[in-house]
Structure 1
Amino acid sequence: MSLQAKLDAFKADFVAGKPPYNAPAAIHPVMARATAELIASGQAGRALKAGDKAPSFTLNDPDGKPVSSADLLAQGPLILSFYRGVWCPYCNMELQALQEALPAFQAAGAQLVAVSPQTAPNSRKSMRNNNLQFPILGDTRNDVAAAFGLRFALPDYLVDLYTMLKNDLPTFNGDPSWTLPMPARYVIAQDGTILYAEVNPDYTHRPEPEDMLHVLQAA
């Protein structure tokens, strides 16, 4: 089953309120409104795209070790997956799919890292829960996401909903700003040129990991 098929099946069960989710029906129109407004804003179209130069960065891994994009690119092409956090089931399913594809990425000489605003303990939890063999780097305040054009502020009504659902982003992220990255995936060549970019303001839609293989093989 494809990643998107798995996401669609999860969403159908979640919206239907099937166990173990039992989500209140009233939350779904609120989430749909926020997604529609983010799409309408056009921000995804302004994010960095193929042909642009990727910004350089240095971020800490979950153990506090600095990891620089320059060092990663010295080893080969770089895959970046922007990850909202441990609380997002869609994001966790995507990480699992990327983990399954990791041997193919490595065979093409690529490095894979996820980038998330969450705190290091939450990144360690994400790595354990999803059995990851690639790191999640901590992007405090979503500064790297902003450099790629991905950071957005949640509208007040969505903040209220997340608070009700106990998705307390300031606690998850160690940052009071209530911002997130739009889900995005990039392939960056060793000279810093973006070869592949997939940005979607609808967090329930993610590209297939295999979509990047032809780009990596060409690189």
Structure 2
Amino acid sequence: MARHGPAIFEGQPAVDAVLKQAWYTDNIDSIPDGARHLLEQYSKSEPEEVVPHVVKMRNKAFEIWSYACIGQMRFSTYNLSLLPFYSRVLERVRSGAILLDAGCCFGQEIRYLVQDGVPSTQLYGFDLEPEFIHLGYQLFRDRDRVQATFVSGDILAEPTAPEGQEIAGLQGQMNIIFASSFLYSDNKPIDYFVRISEQHSAAKAKLESLYTLT
């Protein structure tokens, strides 16, 4: 059965030809201006190599996890910067707040923040798939200079489980949590929201009423 998830599932492609046609965009000759600007200015990529480089990284990622947001290149639209309160986020993080991108994929939102003057030491990202984080370093060509903290694991795993330990280490440290590419990805949005909220520095007070609703 086709589904989001690993590109190979039980020995078979997880996305059949029909779904791949819907989830995967071929013949890409351009990317959003914001992504192009970031790759040219931050990553120092030559203009003519930007699109082929992004497509190459997209193809590698889609072979690992067949997400529509990867196949359709939606990761090249930086959603945080489009929000009406983005300027407030910038002001807070530049002033010392700690930001977490939950479900960071390649860490594209984090790189955008760095390009906008945010110290990368104040930025954190986590993703279920560690290879996406490695591909992010390749995409942005910054492994030797970005100082953001990236961790991988399953946020619903027990903190003592191997797949939950790195994320558990972030608990209670975050001031701002961004999760635009995360909560839609499963059928347990409340569970995800509770676990994400636990990473916030004010989690105990904020979650008291949430638990009564669930």
Q: TM-score, normalised by structure 1?
A: 0.33
* Larger Rg computed on CA atoms: 2
Question: Highest relative contact order (Cα 8 Å, sep 6+), 1 or 2?
Answer: 1
Q: Give me the TM-score of the superposition, normalised by structure 2.
A: 0.33
